[in-house]
Amino acid sequence: MTSLQRYIAEEIATDHAEGLLSRREAVRRLGLLGMGTPAAVALLAACGESTKPAAPSSTAAATSSPSSPPPGTATAVQPSAITLPGPDGRTLMAAWAQAADPRGGVLVIHENKGLTDHIRSVTGRFAGVGYSALAVDLLSEEGGTATFTDDAAATAALSKISNDRFVADLRAGLAELGRRVPGKKLGATGFCFGGGLTWLLLTSGTPELAAATPFYGPFPDGGQFTGSTAAVLAVYGALDTRVDATRAAAEAALDKAGLTHETFVADKADHAFFNDSGARYQPAAAAEAWKRVTDWYGRYLG
């Protein structure tokens, strides 16, 4: 398994351990990844022993503040569906949101369910605060996220894509973003699996990125920032022990490369706390993270 494939498998097992997936559904999803039943059962058992009980604070916070809209939605721009040229003559699908007077551009990198309505919303939110934004559908070659009626099948399809293809498609997205906001600085923000891809993009050498804000993404094994000059704000949840275990490696690599960087660990927040469509949404943490991200882009994009 690659580090991202392992991350997906462990996320499924963690969701089961925290009561978000039944054992039957978790085994089914792991099977879609190509994991046999004995291996799947063993992984579920291991995560069940090592994972803390689900913290009620996230769900409670989400249900106790129904009148509080997710951060950035008040000024969000409605994104449109576009296509753009991809590597090797392929065509990529994407969501595009144009800021009225762009201060910069942001590449939004989706979670392991593909280009969902939530990611489209985040793309529009960036445009609403002055950063034209583009979210590439990394399942374009498979027909696009919309062709998958089962989000577990979309996740399984993403798990089979090579890191090289991910990086190539994301670089195509950056090139398109650069054409649409000429002369402006570019940033990248990814969530969960997309946070891991943000780290992967940075460690693959991306001098075109002036800034990046990966949300609770696993740092690639042995990753180094050769060729990158981006200012990085890394976002984590204090309860997300699985991904937080990779934080020290990310910070050490950032220090070694001499890159400008900060880490924000959201208090009482778990993995995926920014996703207002999910069970772990934490409104206070999401609002604080959004403020820090937009402030960061204000400093390093414009």
SS3 29: helix
Residue range 45-74, pLDDT digits in tens:
988 755 544 443 333 333 334 458 999 999
pLDDT tens track for 89-107: 999 999 999 999 999 999 9
**pLDDT tens per residue across span 21-54:** 999 999 999 999 999 999 999 999 988 755 544 4
Cβ atoms of 282 and 270 closer than 8 Å? yes
Nearest by Cα to 16 from 50, 52, 48: 48
Going from N- to C-terminal start, the domains of the chain cover 3-53, 70-300
Provide the whole-model pTM: 0.93
CATH for 70-300, options being 3.30.310.10, 3.40.50.1820, 3.40.640.10, 3.20.10.10: 3.40.50.1820
Tell me how far apart the terminal alpha carbons of the chain are, to the nearest angstrom: 39
